Structure 1
Amino acid sequence: MPTSFPCPSLTNPSLRFSYTIARGEQGVLTFEPYKSILLPHWRFRTVPIAQTSSETLKSAFDRYVERGDFVGADMARKFIQMGMTRAKRYANHKGGRKYDRTAREVDAEGGKRVELPKSQGHDGREEKLAASEVFKEVWKRCTSDEGYGALRERWQAEKKAWEKSGKKVKEEEGEEDVKSRIKEESDDTG
């Protein structure tokens, strides 16, 4: 299990304030560089894998809270929540497919998506339900963490002041620059 997780938003206000909390786990697979840091640790196929994954992501969450990195903590919380919801989706829908068409297909062809009926008794259903519960317990601990709540309030106030000051959230570095800097930080600490 990694013992160090880089905190790039602590040294880059543009990165820190370009983040949006959003609803649920929205944005978890798009906000770099945290996506690249946390995604390799997100797995839910079996209960033992879910336990290891949720423990690693909770360790990242705790580390980010300890360092005062709200963005990292919230991204870790989102990955934990996504572990819960995705495992549940695979429990409810064999193969994990919830809709008859993807959002891209609807955009290209028009019409609407229709939710597929939930399947019952398929192989792996109980395993996925149990994996979802593993993540759910960890997610509850994250959302009730007092340090996380205080960080969230502080970050929201800081972002409001940043935006009020007229500073624009802009890309100061390209995505590749950020990824290489994160790799260097990981190499230095790991």
Structure 2
Amino acid sequence: MEAAKAFHAALPAVAAFQPWPDDITWADREAHQIPAAPLVQSDPGFAAESIPAEAQVRALQQAVMALAPHAEWRLTYTEEEVGRDFLQRFGWFELVGPTGHFHSAQSRMTIGYWGPGLDYPWHQHGPEELYTILSGSADFMARGEEVRRLVPGDTKMHGADQPHAMITNEHPILCFVFWRGDGLADDPAMSPG
């Protein structure tokens, strides 16, 4: 939590997206492992050097790697929606939020991991979203926007109900994702793109 808070304070785009919640309480969630959880520890993706807030990005990446065996990992999607391979190399957990390790009604902050060469299909959700990249890279797509490759230290915002997708490159990607707005406890839904 301290690494997450320092990261939030060090990146102006993150602090501008939403203030740090003042209603955070420990929620004592049980660990839940999925196939991708060990991958976070063994290969979280490359961490670039000489990026904005490099120390805070690396500290949060290291904290996530240490936390991986103790997190309540989730998958959200079905095999019919994304395929078996995707589910073997994808996962996320809610650090802060309505159902997170730390409870907050003001914000949702999740950690997401996608293995190399994964196609994260078009999906959408009610809350606005800000992706921040801790390690790895991916090509991000959003309706009405040009494709953009993100690397460590980069951020990408998606509007409420804006369909978006991602394709990871030759390395895994580890992201710290922020949601704000109505529907913080809701899961994303697949969209036609």
TM class by smaller structure: under 0.3
TM-score by length of 2: 0.24
Structure with the higher strand share, 1 or 2: 2
Structure with the higher helix share, 1 or 2: 1
TM-score by length of 1: 0.24
Higher relative contact order (CA 8 A, sep 6+): 1
